[in-house]
Amino acid sequence: MKTITKIMSTAAFAVAVFFTSNANAQSRNFGIGLNAGIPTETGGQFAIGGDLRYQFNIDEQLSIPITVGYTNLSYKYGNVKVNSGYIPVKVGAKYFFDKSGSGVYGLAELGAAFGTDSPSKTSFVYSPAIGYSWDNGLDLAAKYEGLARDGRTGGYVGLRLAYGFRL
């Protein structure tokens, strides 16, 4: 898994450097989001988190988002409650189906999730979503965020409510 993490980190860095060096060619957005959902594993109770998203707009319909945040997953096994947290760092592609750059969109992200519990481990994270973005900056998406490590998978199904603004 360390090789995948290195590849993802290098890819995210390369994308950031490429778009930063072409800053005059693209517009950018910044967003703050709240994520809530239900973990998909047995005993899953609640998933909650927040994120920051920096988005490079290639044109009116295509964007490259870089997202970092924190997510906490709560589980209950009998009388025992367990919380597990991680920091996802993702890069992806966001495509608006309307030429105006708002309305319905599809989003696919992937990256690394850094565990915050002891002992912390790194997982591969992927997150497909479909959402709607209004002209006033509000954004609502239905998403799945999956985690994979050591042949095991998990994650959560949820919603992301965000506010974005142009830089």
For residue 114, the domain's CATH number is 2.40.160.20
Rounded-to-integer distance, Cα 141 and Cα 130, Å = 6
Rounded-to-integer distance, Cα 122 and Cα 108, Å = 20
Query: Where is pLDDT greater, at 101 or 133?
Result: 133
The whole-number average pLDDT for the span 126-152 is 95
For the entire predicted model, the pTM comes to 0.82
Q: 81 is in which domain, residue-wise?
A: 2-166
Q: Answer yes or no: is pLDDT of 42 > 80.
A: yes
Rounded-to-integer distance, Cα 21 and Cα 147, Å = 32
Tell me the CA distances in angstroms from 43 to 13, 38, 72, 126, 137, one per residue in order: 36, 10, 14, 22, 36
Task: Show the beta-strand stretches assigned E in 40-121.
Answer: 44-57, 62-77, 80-96, 103-115
User: Given this model, what pLDDT does residue 134 score?
Assistant: 93
Count of domains observed in the chain: 1
